[in-house]
Structure 1
Amino acid sequence: MHDFFLNLDRHLFYLINHEWGNAVFDVVMPVMRNARFWIPFYVFLIIFIIWRYKKHGAILIVFLALSAGFADYTSASIIKPAVQRLRPCRDPITANTDISRAPCGTGYSFPSTHATDHFAMAVFLSCLFYKYGKWIAPALLIWAAVICYAQVYVGVHFPIDVTIGALYGSLVGWLFSLAFRKTVHGFSV
């Protein structure tokens, strides 16, 4: 059964990395996974939240940072070394056919720390701001999902890496949103 899932994962990787490749994605996807592209978005969110919610906003940003930091640390420093899954660009089966649209990256592949971090932040913010507009949660989750898809498209992660990273990050984001609500009673958007 284990081999079935690994082969399915490699097949899905091949589809995304090869078959679904196109000139537009070849330009857009490497940009989507680059911190220089998404950091301004997060800086804007931080400034807006602190400006709009003052003291509670500052506490919210601390919890957002804790959520991303916890997701990042546990993903990169605990889970990846324990699992030790090779990246597609180093995997003996996929390395020869991997279309590398970004540097391979150091370290292991499972789970994707990009997926873990972005989904932790997206779910955290979605849990707190869903009443602000019905578009908030879908927009944040699509944002995180596109970054995850980009990781596979450029050839640095397998689909299962980003899927499990997204699920784990979502759990972390949800738990930290609960902790924030317990810490800041009466917070509303």
Structure 2
Amino acid sequence: MYFFDWLDHIDKIAFTFIHRDMSARWLDFFMLLLRNQYTWIPLYIFMLYWAFRLDRPTGLKFVCLTLLTFAITDFTSGTILKYHFERLRPCYDEDMTTVIRGIIGCGGKYSFPSSHASNHFGLATFWYLTVLHVKQQKWHWLWFWAFAICFAQVYVGKHFPLDIVGGAVLGMVAGLCVFKLFEAWVKRDYDKYLKNPSLSLP
């Protein structure tokens, strides 16, 4: 138990530094913008555009499995794990009463793991691996995108840093698993084509 108490203590020190000690009015606005779901609508439109520039079967697989990735990470983090661990969100934690700046509403009671982290790192992992597999391109900016949103979650006071780490690990595992499903699905269709070239190539 001593180790977990120490880990919790370090986590709260890191949270205090990011949420309070780093704070600035202009940064408040920027971080709130980063974590707003509507900010990233152009990105999601771009990913749809990218998907449908592929051949239609591959593009549809990409879109369907993107939705599956999100469903897995969101349900697992928000419905299962948060209520298993029952770790209080910073604004509900009595130790953090003098630290919380109240720049955003508190939200749900529990915070581990972060659903923002699991969802965005899940998507970043699946997208990165799929683009690499299909186009041999390394979209490193996807990792920066996921990290920036998650950092903003700590900055505005929604999550402790370890909530983010837990969510990111969950998301990356889910994204990798769904990518493996995508890879197997594409290979199966390609093998069918090799056996029967009269079929359209997936």
Conserved 8 A contact 1:111-1:161? yes
| Residue 100 (structure 1) shift | 2.5
The CA distance in 1 between the partners of 2:38 and 2:152, in whole Å, is: 15
The CA distance in 2 between the partners of 1:133 and 1:127, in whole Å, is: 9
> Normalised by the size of structure 1, how large is the TM-score?
0.92
2:163 equivalent among 161, 164, 179: 161
Q: What per-residue deviation string (whole Å, max 9, x for no partner) do you get for residues 121-177 of structure 1? A: 00001111135433x0x2001000000000000001000001110111011001100
2:185 equivalent among 158, 172, 183: 183
Conserved 8 A contact 2:88-2:110? yes
Corresponding residue for residue 2 of structure 1: 4
The CA distance in 2 between the partners of 1:165 and 1:54, in whole Å, is: 32
Conserved 8 A contact 1:63-1:180? yes
Could you say which structure has the larger radius of gyration? 2
Identity %: 34
Task: Tell me whether 1:97 sits opposite 2:107 in the alignment.
Answer: no
Corresponding residue for residue 15 of structure 1: 17
1:88 equivalent among 86, 90, 93: 90
2:55 equivalent among 33, 53, 56: 53
Amino acid at match of 1:102: I
Conserved 8 A contact 1:12-1:159? yes
> Normalised by the size of structure 2, how large is the TM-score?
0.87
Corresponding residue for residue 34 of structure 2: 32
The CA distance in 2 between the partners of 1:9 and 1:151, in whole Å, is: 14
5+ residue gaps, structure 1, are none
| Residue 54 (structure 1) shift | 1.7
Q: What per-residue deviation string (whole Å, max 9, x for no partner) do you get for residues 16-59 of structure 1? A: 00111223321110011111111331132123212333221011
Corresponding residue for residue 128 of structure 2: 126
Corresponding residue for residue 114 of structure 1: 116
The CA distance in 2 between the partners of 1:154 and 1:36, in whole Å, is: 17
| Residue 117 (structure 1) shift | 0.3
Corresponding residue for residue 199 of structure 2: none
The CA distance in 2 between the partners of 1:133 and 1:24, in whole Å, is: 35
Alignment root-mean-square deviation, CA: 1.3
